[in-house]
A and B are shown apart, each in its own frame.
Chain A
Amino acid sequence: MLSRVADALYWMARYSERTQTNAHILQVQLLNMLEQSGQEHDYIDHWEAVLNICASKEEYLANYTAIRVNPLIDYLLFSEKNCNALHTTLRAIRENARITRDSMPTELWEIQNAFYLTQQQDILTRERPIPLFEIQAFLQEVRKTLWMETGLIEGTMDRDLPFYFLQVGKWLERAEKTMRMTLIILEQLKLSDISLLEADGTFLLELTAAKESFLRKHRQTNLLTVIQYLVQDEHFPCSVMFCVKKIDETITAIEHDSFSSRFLTLHSNISSLVLAIDHLDFWQMTVVETITVLEERLRQCIAFSDTFSVIYHLYEPSIQP
């Protein structure tokens, strides 16, 4: 497979995952904020967290005067200044799909293309501000379209190189995102005197779309249990452990030869990450220590993605917003 095509598939999967998560986060926050007053700490804290997870608070404040709903929606959904605005990441998915359309099922390209040409163009031309319920409906459509695509990939693609490069992109993006969300919530907690055990983890559960699954297994929603779940659970598909193990499986599938230098390098990197996650004992850690170890794991993850790109001669992403 051409390196350029592998790169485009990898980034298509990453943008797809990023878009799904950001759309979900926005949906959560647009609902939550209805019960909060604009002056409350929670309201500001939550929006700041969302801004930092989906883009950058500094960049937002450099372009807009205050944390208010309509400018926030404009920035997070449509702004050309925000390289992770939903419109931009959706366009990146489609552009990468366009480059690689001969490596993927026709229907996958057609669904993405149809969405881009109809619903996405449609909302761009709407008069602003767009009513909240319409924004919610659009975000839901974004997620539905991407679910459908995930289903198509799982259900119809040959287990071959294009599939595996999509998988690596997806699992890496997901692992990194879960860690970033956790870190941002921890950074906010660091400013208070509350411990992990005392703090409530519901907002993080909502952001990571883990609430349903978590509550089936745990009664307490303290932040410590929530973080433990999001980082170490082996069955929850957004946990860091789950994603990293999936990456390991995928590397094994890409490299049939388990003695090749490519396999040995990638496998040893990922194994040490699995081991490091497994050994984390959050019960013994302060908030600051938790931040430190999670930052270290995030760096490991990023280092792995760099090694992966070097080993498979992936280009600098050409279609990045």
Chain B
Amino acid sequence: MMNLYDSSLFFDEMFDGNQPKPHYRSFHHKLSFFSQEQLEEKYRQAQASFLRQGITFTVYGAQDGTERTMPFDCVPIIIPQSQWDVIEVGVKQRVEALNLFLQDIYGQQRIIRDGIIPRHLVENNPYFTRKMRGLQVPIANHIFLAGIDLIRDEKGDYHVLEDNLRNPSGISYVFENRDVMKEVYPEFFSKHTIRTLDKHMAYMKKALLAHRPPSMQAEREPKAVLLTAGMYNSAYYDHVFLAQHLNIQLVEGRDLVVQDMKVYMKTIYGLQQIDIIYRRIDDDFLDPTVFREDSLLGVSHLMAAFQAGNVAILNAIGNGVADDKAMYAYVPDMIRYYLQEEPVLPNVKTYHLEDANQRAWVLEHIQELVIKNVSASGGYDMLIGPHASEEEIALFKQKIMKHPFQYIAQPTIKLSRAPAFQNGRFYPCHVDLRVYVMKGEDCYVLPGGLSRVALQEGSLVVNSSQGGGAKDTWIVKEELQHAESSSRRVVLDGTV
């Protein structure tokens, strides 16, 4: 069924030459039994299932709040357990160090005094929130949910591409992709032992409720809510899913009110105090009396309630200072500084363009590099040197000269590829992996995460707003994988 492609150009998740890798053999074998028509029919079923359930994102700027499903691809990313163990340790280490960094820069700023991170990089950062200086966050944790984006280079080594410590979205897709995969492609699951996602919502809830605000009485059970921007937000489905599965109320800013520096939600029986807000709106919009005055999404005086220790806000305010693309380059140093450990997962080499030497080198080699705006996300304001036209390159050179602080440069990594089945055929697509880390008293990593795939052939942009799709991600236990491969030779009737 699957027409082979030249898998030697990039690291391929599934193939070594024209043979599937050991952890993909069983899947590949199953796949070969399907006809083109069956696969196309299943593809239609899967997309219809997402649409029916309303697992959609709203396309900004599109007419009438157009809703789209994220294209789903049936070929999963399979990661052997031993490889996953390394990733798990690596992302936990990273989140631990990033949290200590946030705790430090809003506290004593030792890392700046010790000359590890330049002061201007912190203080000139638009996400550095001076109002957070000296404030204690519950259980000294700034990062309740992190999304760490990983890529693989041409050798198959994992690198961290980006840390998302503000409002990483997409966790619902991990669960829904698995559900749709089980519903539409049950055949693929036999003969695999896959790490289940079932317990992780309970872990997430435990981590959430651990953030008791300091002024809360010990005997009270904390009341948590999820604050959404509303149903026209692009990630509304994510919010609905999390509120449902964490069993907490989904609220909008207009449902909350602050009185006597305590936060209440407006219920049919009057006001009810709440203690923990898992907010999915940006810092700027949280409190119009402190941040953007024109915000209609936030709650007036929320910051005062937080400062009084009457409410926990997750993820903490001001996390953006740790996850922007300029600070990213320093994360390995943070790991060494705070944890006295070597980073388990390396960064992608990053050039800082405010440095005259690095800038000169980058401008000379711009055609081989990727240029990113440190404040942008979603693949916007980005130049991929090898694919760019002369005009685009000239434009970015101008932008860099004008605002060197605003941009970083990275080498173009030959992103790994995996086969995808779209429009009736298999072809190789570049992929990345967002790994979700939940942190309360303990730290949990969702096994697998969201594999994002650039479905436009040759494209490197995996973001859903720009034609990206998603795949299920399987962590397979190897010992059973081996047992499976030996049992594959024995058929139940005794023939071999």
Contacts and interface: CB of A to CB of B under 8 A. Distances in A.
Given A95-B231, A102-B240, A4 B52 contact: no
Given A98-B54, A110-B53, A113-B54, A3 B231 contact: no
Contacts of B251: 2
Contacts of B243: 102
A110 B56 CA distance: 13
Contacts of A2: 249, 251, 255, 265-268
Contact of A4 (B51, B240, B252): B252
A109 interface: yes
A4, A99, A106, A109 pick with most chain B CB within 10 angstroms: A4
Interface residues of A, number: 21
Contacts of A6: 268
Given A1-B268, A102-B240, A114 B250 contact: no
Contacts of A1: 267-268
B268 A313 contact: yes
Nearest to B272: A2
A117 interface: yes
B54 A313 contact: no
Given A2-B255, A102-B244, A102-B250, A110 B266 contact: no
Contact of A313 (B53, B231, B252, B267): B267
Interface in B218-263: 231, 240, 243-244, 249-252, 254-255
Interface in A1-28: 1-4, 6
Contacts, number: 50
B267 A101 contact: no
B186 interface: no
A315 B257 CA distance: 14
Interface in B10-64: 51-54
Interface in A78-115: 95, 98-99, 101-102, 106, 109-110, 113-114
B270 interface: yes
A4 B54 contact: no
A64 interface: no
A72 interface: no
Contacts of B270: 313
Nearest to A117: B51
Nearest to A311: B268
A117 B56 CA distance: 12
Contact of B268 (A95, A101, A106, A312): A312
Given A2-B249, A98-B231, A110 B52 contact: yes
Interface residues of B, number: 20
B467 to A, nearest CB: 21
A2, A109, A161, A313 pick with most chain B CB within 10 angstroms: A2
Nearest to A318: B254
A114 B52 contact: yes
B233 to A, nearest CB: 12
Contacts of B54: 98, 101, 109-110, 113
A317 to B, nearest CB: 13
B268 A161 contact: yes
B208 to A, nearest CB: 16
A4 B254 contact: yes
Nearest to A312: B268
Nearest to A3: B266
B49 to A, nearest CB: 10
A1 B268 CA distance: 6
Nearest to B270: A313
A114 B54 CA distance: 9
B252, B255, B267 pick with most chain A CB within 10 angstroms: B267
Contact of A101 (B51, B52, B240, B252): B240
A313 B266 contact: yes
A116 B254 CA distance: 28
Contacts of B267: 1-3, 313
Contacts of A3: 255, 266-268
B243 to A, nearest CB: 5
A314 B249 CA distance: 17
Contacts of B268: 1-3, 6, 161, 312-314
Contacts of A114: 51-52
Contacts of B255: 2-4
Nearest to A4: B255
A17 B254 CA distance: 28
Contacts of A101: 54, 240
A102, A312, A313, A315 pick with most chain B CB within 10 angstroms: A102
Nearest to A113: B54
A257 to B, nearest CB: 11
B54, B252, B268 pick with most chain A CB within 10 angstroms: B268
Nearest to B225: A2
Contacts of B269: 312
Given A2-B267, A3-B266, A113 B254 contact: no
A22 B51 CA distance: 28
A4 B231 CA distance: 13
Contacts of B231: 95, 98-99
Given A1-B267, A2-B267, A99-B231, A113 B52 contact: yes
A315 B240 CA distance: 21
Contacts of A314: 268
B53, B54, B240, B249 pick with most chain A CB within 10 angstroms: B54
A225 to B, nearest CB: 41
A4 B251 CA distance: 9
Nearest to B54: A113
19 contacts: A2-B255, A2-B267, A2-B268, A3-B266, A3-B268, A4-B252, A6-B268, A95-B231, A98-B54, A98-B231, A99-B231, A102-B240, A106-B53, A113-B51, A114-B51, A117-B51, A117-B52, A312-B268, A313-B268
Interface of B: 51-54, 231, 240, 243-244, 249-252, 254-255, 265-270
Given A3-B255, A102-B240, 20 more contacts: A1-B267, A2-B268, A3-B266, A4-B252, A4-B266, A98-B231, A99-B231, A101-B240, A102-B243, A106-B53, A110-B52, A110-B53, A113-B53, A113-B54, A114-B51, A117-B51, A161-B268, A312-B268, A312-B269, A314-B268
Going nearest first, the 8 A-B pairs with the smallest beta carbon separation are A312-B268, A102-B244, A114-B52, A3-B266, A6-B268, A113-B54, A98-B231, A110-B52
